[in-house]
Amino acid sequence: MPPPTPLSPPELSYLFTSLSLSPPIRPDLRAATQFRPIIAECSFLPHCNGSSRICMTEAGECIVGIKAEVEKDTTSKYATVVEREKWIEISVEVAGGGASGPGSGVGVGGISGAGGAAGRDEGDGGAAVWLKEGLLAGGAAGWSILDQLVISKGWHWKLYIDVLLLTPTSHPSPLLLSTAVNMALDSTYMPKLTSPHDVDDIPTFSDDWAISVPLYDPSSFPRPPMSLPVIAIGDNVFLDPSVAEVAAAEVGLVVTITLTDSAGSCDIVGVRGMEVGRGGGKEGERKGINRKLLRKMVTACVTEAGEVIKGLGEATHKQMFRA
Amino acid sequence: MPLQIIAPAPFIEAGDDEEDEGGVRLDLDNEGDTTMDGDAPAHRKSGRQAGGIVTPGEIVTDDPQWMRGHGTYLSAPTADGNPQSIVSSLAGTISKTNKLLSIRALRFRYVPEIGDLVVGRILEVQTKRWRVDIAAPHSAALLLSSINLPGGILRKRTSTDELQIRTFFSEGDLLVAEVQTLNSDGQASLHTRSLKYGKLRNGVFMTIDAGMVRRMKSHVLTMNTSNGGGEVDIYLGVNGYIWIAKHTTPLTEGGAESKSISITRLEEEASEAIYSNVNEEISPETRAEIARIGCVIRALVKANVKIDEEMLNLGYEAALEEFLEGFDWGSDTEAGRRVVDLALTKRRMG
């Protein structure tokens, strides 16, 4: 597969001008904050605690399976954060792509600098690293997913989150991966503990899945995090940019947020830069980003994302509990 | 809500209740053989009706009276002298011509034919030629000698041209061309030796499935758009690559007062400008209409309606009517469906 060909200069300049108009004209006539429809289903994999499958235009198809394993807590009471972070393992694989997949060079989703040295080794360009980062960032008041993984004294769950991108020739957007992980986490259920909490013995579980416990309690907050790509062209901010729009963008961010209440307000848990094209300028000339625009981009995510995460959660639960 | 979530289509078990359909089953051992009921169900399943969908590796028939055509192969001979069966190598529909069985693929790559108008993207610049992506199994070649060289009609290429090859087309550039020749592998060689062809500017590019473009007399359409959009050119590449751009007066008419200028003169005028990378001034109205046409094409393809001039015009009209009723492509995902339905109704009414 040859590397994705760059857009031709007339194409780029046409796109750039269209998108910097006021109001902007997107090639598919979407509103600036409108997402493209997605196809989603969850908990369809047997032998997984939670799973999801997402299809998006351009980005292709992706499945996520989450498995939990009981592990003896090897960390002492002086457990460092780093040790506890090993309780969650994320791997991102491109089907059939291997080392030559599109994710190998620039990183899946084109997120720059994700993971640094650690990310480079994994062959996925660090997608696993930023996914995990968003997951661990938790929420307000020191809430952390890791606390949910504690079973009893000395025992904890180890989560394996396996992301498989089924369409290796597509342009995987961070939205695809994070939506899939979000939905899988939302549909993850753990067997109910039947042994007492405060005993050191090997824990025992109920084998009745009807009384299993959700990892993320549907009625509690924060919900699982989600990363939204956002780009800016001129003073216009666009959510869910298409590949061509990213190529024409001046600046791109991936904003990770979690839902914090039922009204749909959000917490920002992470912001990363995203690789974008060269905008309207010449090769090598790239505009910086000013604070006002940065704020505008993040605000756009926060105001729109609440609805999106909520909608996704509702769709998940509808599928989980359908008759 | 800014995001629409669609539940996946339910998985449908292939029912076995298709026997009462009028089609001829291909797996009858002999005409009128009625031992079917006693046969193993696996055997019954192995035969498929004409018009049904088969998948690669699926046995189409084991009846020796059929000949195998495109998209099929004969299975390995069995030791016990059973007849070889015809197996599908494609996912598609069965078509029968007398006793010839062939499979027409549901989705396929574009197969170039001489004279096709194609839209392509330059993949690579080589010493005397370009490699062009035209969505075919092989990338096409565009020779330096088969483009319009600036500075005069059909002159021979020189070493200066070879050195300046990137000033004509460089990687990523889009062009419209005609398939000139095909070599034995089916690899196409293109040419742009007409002022109709050449570099594409002033518009947007989109791709659809090659099979969705109906072959027409002319693949370059000019549409009169409303809302002050002016005229818009649509290059419907036979290969499924589409370029929608603001209508530009062809260089043949520009400049000179008299329209009947000599060919030589015209070529000279066309010289440098045809390889320019700079867009013209395009009004926001035109941009909006270009985007609307793009959406119409996408909606038609999604609804499995082949694209031709008539459908495109009807679709565009339908989209305008819906637009007047205040709908919005972006947030209303049913909009495309409605536009297509409206366009199809219009076509039926004539």
Provide the residue type at B307 as one letter: I
pLDDT in tens, A11-25: 888 998 999 888 889
A25: tokens are 């004209």
Is residue A294 assigned to a domain?
A: yes
Ranges of residues in chain A whose predicted pLDDT is under 50: 1-3, 98-124, 323
A314, closest residue in chain B (CA to CA):
B5
CB contact under 8 A, B291 and A26: yes
Can you give the residue range of the structural domain that contains A55?
9-208+218-319
Is residue A3 assigned to a domain?
A: no
Give yes or no for B79 touching A (CB within 8 A).
no
pLDDT of residue B43 exceeding 80, the answer is: no
Residue B77 burial (CB count, 10 A) = 10
Q: Which residues of B touch A304 (CB under 8 A)?
A: 2
SS (H, E, C) A84-144: HHCCEEEEEEECCCHHHCHHHHHCHHHECCCCHHHHHHCCCCCHHHHHHHHHHCCCHHHCC
Q: Total domain count for chain A?
A: 1
- Higher pLDDT, residue A57 or B78: A57
Q: Decide: B264 and B152 in contact? Cβ < 8 Å.
A: yes
Tell which of B5, B201, B206 to mutate to test the A interface (max A CBs under 10 Å). B5
- Domains in chain B, CATH or no CATH each: 1-107 (2.40.50.100), 110-200+249-280 (2.40.50.140), 205-245+283-350 (no CATH)
Q: Decide: A264 and A307 in contact? Cβ < 8 Å.
A: yes
Is residue A284 assigned to a domain?
A: yes
B248: tokens are 């530009």
Determine the average pLDDT of the residues in B143-166: 78
Provide the residue type at B163 as one letter: L
B176: tokens are 């419209």
CB contact under 8 A, B287 and A21: yes
Residue B95 burial (CB count, 10 A) = 15
**Looking at CA atoms only, how far is residue A29 from chain B in angstroms?**
5
pLDDT in tens, B119-142: 999 999 998 899 999 988 889 999
Determine the average pLDDT of the residues in B10-14: 63
CB contact under 8 A, A33 and B2: yes
Is residue A1 assigned to a domain?
A: no
Is residue A307 assigned to a domain?
A: yes
Distance, in Å, from the CA atom of B183 to the CA atom of B205, rounded to the nearest integer, reads: 28
pLDDT of residue B226 exceeding 50, the answer is: yes
Q: What pLDDT is attached to residue B327?
A: 65
Q: What pLDDT is attached to residue A290?
A: 83
Nearest to A34 among B174, B287, B330 (CB): B330
B115: tokens are 């004279």
Residue B51 confidence class, pLDDT cut points 50, 70, 90: low
B113: tokens are 């034919």
Which run of H or E residues covers position A42? strand A38-42
Is residue A4 assigned to a domain?
A: no
B139, closest residue in chain A (CA to CA):
A2
Distance, in Å, from the CA atom of A20 to the CA atom of A249, rounded to the nearest integer, reads: 10
**Looking at CA atoms only, how far is residue A234 from chain B in angstroms?**
16
Residue B302 burial (CB count, 10 A) = 12
SS (H, E, C) B63-104: CCCCEECCCEEECCCCCCCCCCCEEECCCEEEEEECCEEEEE
CATH code of the domain covering residue A55: 3.30.230.70
Q: What pLDDT is attached to residue A126?
A: 65
**Looking at CA atoms only, how far is residue A315 from chain B in angstroms?**
7
pLDDT in tens, B172-189: 899 999 999 999 988 999
Q: What pLDDT is attached to residue B322?
A: 81
Nearest to A14 among B6, B199, B203 (CB): B203
CB contact under 8 A, A8 and B6: no
Is residue A143 assigned to a domain?
A: yes
pTM of the predicted model, to two decimals?
0.80
CB contact under 8 A, A308 and B282: no
CB contact under 8 A, B330 and A31: yes
Determine the average pLDDT of the residues in B209-221: 88
Q: Which residues of B touch A33 (CB under 8 A)?
A: 2
Pairing of strands B100-105, B92-97: antiparallel
Q: Decide: B225 and B240 in contact? Cβ < 8 Å.
A: no
Provide the residue type at A221 as one letter: F
Distance, in Å, from the CA atom of B121 to the CA atom of A7, rounded to the nearest integer, reads: 9
Q: What pLDDT is attached to residue A146?
A: 80
**Looking at CA atoms only, how far is residue B40 from chain A in angstroms?**
32
Tell which of A7, A12, A14 to mutate to test the B interface (max B CBs under 10 Å). A14
Q: What pLDDT is attached to residue B234?
A: 93
Residue B325 burial (CB count, 10 A) = 7
CB contact under 8 A, A35 and B172: no
Is residue A34 assigned to a domain?
A: yes
Determine the average pLDDT of the residues in B219-231: 88
Of the given ranges (A61-75, A163-177, B88-102, B235-249), which has the lowest mean pLDDT? A163-177
Give yes or no for A303 touching B (CB within 8 A).
no
Q: Which residues of A touch B173 (CB under 8 A)?
A: 8-9
A31, closest residue in chain B (CA to CA):
B330
Q: Which residues of A touch B287 (CB under 8 A)?
A: 14, 17-18, 21, 25
Residue B270 confidence class, pLDDT cut points 50, 70, 90: low
Map residue A178 onto helix, strand or coil: helix
**Mean pLDDT score of chain B, rounded to an integer?**
78
Q: What pLDDT is attached to residue A168?
A: 66
**Looking at CA atoms only, how far is residue A147 from chain B in angstroms?**
31
Distance, in Å, from the CA atom of A241 to the CA atom of A175, rounded to the nearest integer, reads: 10
Determine the average pLDDT of the residues in B89-97: 87
